[in-house]
Amino acid sequence: MATMGRGVRKVNESIMQDGRTLIITETDDSQLDWDRIPDGTLKINPVTGQLFIKIQGEGAWIPAGLTYDGNLTIAKDARIVVEVFKIIRPDNGDGTFTYENEAGEQRTKPLTAIGQQTFELEKGSFIVKRNKIEAIINDTLHRSATSGGLIEIDETRIALEEKLVAGTKVTLKYFLKVNIGNPYPRFFINPEEPETADYGDFWLDLNEDQAILKWWDGDSWETLGAEDIEDILGANMIYKGFNVVPGTGRSVSINHGSDALGVLFIGGVRFRESRAISNIAVAANSSGSTRTDTLYARADGNRLTYGVATGTINAPAGTCKIAEIKVPNGATSISASNITLVRKAMTIKFISDEIYDSTNQSTAGTLMRRDSAGRAKVAAPSADDDIARKKEVDDAMEVAKAAVKRAGDTMTGQLTIDGFGILPKMTAVAASVSGDGYKQGITTFKTGTLAGYPAQNAIAVNFKLDDATVTQWIYASGAGGEIRSWFRHWSSSKATNNGWSDVFKEVRDLGETADTAYRGDRGKTAYDHSQVRDSNPHETKHDQLLERGTLDPTSTDTTKNKHLSNAQAKKWEDHADANSPHPNHLITANYDNQKVFVQSTKPTSGMKAGDIWIDTSVSYGTK
């Protein structure tokens, strides 16, 4: 059973005391309480013997090792630095914002595309993607790339995801990049996967038939191909331009596309080529089969020279391969189908150089950069899809202004939209004019004092859908200021009255006054009801009339009509049916065919018993 060396113990409660350093052999860091481990404690991997040390201010173990003379060397890469900023203007309205540093100096920095505020360190830099920087907002809120809310842009710049208001205090606390001892990234060469790795570390994996180079992307080991290594190391490559086309005879030519610029790297050094290289000679081929040659560029001071390597697909050492050329046996010219361009690549160095060379001027082959006012220039456009400058827009506006009439001018001609003519105004015509005399489309005119219209000084709106149909609306104000309107229709198939409907129809609102209309269906129902004479359309009963409360059979008021009760009506019926309802009357059943003399003198003849004389010479009495 293996035993630990004397003095080496795993961390436990009994030895965790202030002022006491430790030697730890625990390989699982999750089992350790980092905050309780004293500064200066050593950790040794019992399998590999790798030595680490805890340094004050560090958040992780620092690799340590021994020099040839036995002294301990520490690969410490940082010391803690604090910078404090205060927001002055959170958004300047031009894609920037302003903050103040500890010295009271104001800094204007850009906002990201989504409005995030960016800050730039002034005292040093940090190592990105290792959680080496933290932002503290108003001494309360902590933000980092690991916990969220902070974005690491590069070694000196960060962005905060939340938008801060004026007066907000931002404290940036970071580990200053020093790179003493073994610098990052580290390079591991062994068949086993390294137990610990930081972003950017390399591992040459020997656990295969051939060595495989890999790098740690923060989550896993990724295999690097030849092209990836070129991109990382900035080897010989083309970035853009250098299009190869057939030349005259057995030759090829180089141009650089629409921007007339080619860019390539030789030994990591960037070259910009604006020349078009014509007719680079290709050797004759009499081998009896197709041969493959290589077109390359060579650095000659600060210029490039070009050549063709015959019978090989490899460019000479220290040159940049541009294309492969297939040369058929006995060929006297080179066709485009026999030219194969190499892959174009991009390096971090190139991106940096391109950004540095960017300008707000209309310089060919450069990136566009806005000036301090957010402006940039482009050359005058020539193709339809080129960018239009302010000058072209202003010129087009002047032409449009000259063509379009101003207020008070009279527009002539017909404006057609989607094939339908729109004529805002036409000459006034009499109401008797035939509909085919109107222009096609929508027209208007004032009737003025023209005869035949239902109102004076009205506006006529005419809709002529085609040569056979016209609808005319007349709008005018009534005597009281109310709006009134009429309409009529014209049809070419109507033989009389010039094809117009007989009269203007006035459009009235529904209502219950003399100036409004009532629903025709309800009006007819009311009229029919009023004509009923021989029935009881409401089926009203006598008792229901008494319930109305306006007729009182017992009232003694002689000025009001009375309604008889059922009992009273029965008495009258019985009275009318009686043979002698008035037994004391002068005229009785004993007298038949009596006469009534109505005159002022007494009758002298033709009288008989029972006759009556009404003397009109007096105001009373009957004889």
Q: Report all structural domains of the chain as residue ranges with CATH numbers, in order of start.
A: 13-74 (no CATH), 80-175 (no CATH), 187-224 (no CATH), 233-354 (2.80.20), 415-507 (no CATH), 582-623 (no CATH)
Express each pLDDT in 542-571 by its tens digit: 666 655 555 555 566 655 555 566 676 677
User: And the tokens for 539?
Assistant: 């089926």
In the 8-state DSSP scheme, what is residue 476? E
The runs of H, that is alpha helices, within 471-620 are 520-530, 542-546, 566-577
268 φψ region: left (φ > 0), alpha (ψ -120 to 50), beta (else): left
Cβ-based neighbour number of residue 150 at 10 Å: 21
Closest CA to 52 of 23, 79, 10, 32: 23
Q: What are phi and psi of 227, to 5 degrees?
A: -70, -35
Determine the Cα–Cα distance for residues 300 and 298; give it in Å rounded to an integer.
Answer: 6
Q: pTM surpassing 0.75?
A: no
In the 8-state DSSP scheme, what is residue 31? G
Per the model's pLDDT, the better-predicted residue between 232 and 327 turns out to be 327
Query: How would you label 586-612 residue by residue, b for 16+ Cβ within 10 Å and e otherwise?
Result: eeeeeeeeeeebeeeeeeeeeeeeebe
Name the percent of the chain lying above pLDDT 90: 22
Amino acid at 350: F
3-class secondary structure, 154: coil
Mean pLDDT of the chain: 77
Distance (Å) of CA 64 to CA 10, 26, 70, 299, 425 = 20, 17, 12, 44, 94
Q: Given a cut of 90, is residue 71 above it in pLDDT?
A: no
Q: Apex CA 280: angle with CA 279 and CA 285, to 5°?
A: 110
Given this model, what pLDDT does residue 182 score? Answer: 44
User: And the tokens for 54?
Assistant: 């805890």
Closest CA to 257 of 341, 354, 142: 341
In the 8-state DSSP scheme, what is residue 419? T
Express each pLDDT in 253-311 by its tens digit: 998 876 677 878 787 677 888 888 999 999 999 999 999 999 999 988 878 999 999 99
Determine the Cα–Cα distance for residues 395 and 385; give it in Å rounded to an integer.
Answer: 17
Residues recorded for the chain: 623
Given this model, what pLDDT does residue 13 score? Answer: 47
Express each pLDDT in 89-141 by its tens digit: 999 999 999 999 999 999 999 998 889 999 999 988 887 777 889 999 999 99
- C-beta separation of 237 from 320 below 8 A: yes
Contacts 24+ apart (CB under 8 A), 589-597: none
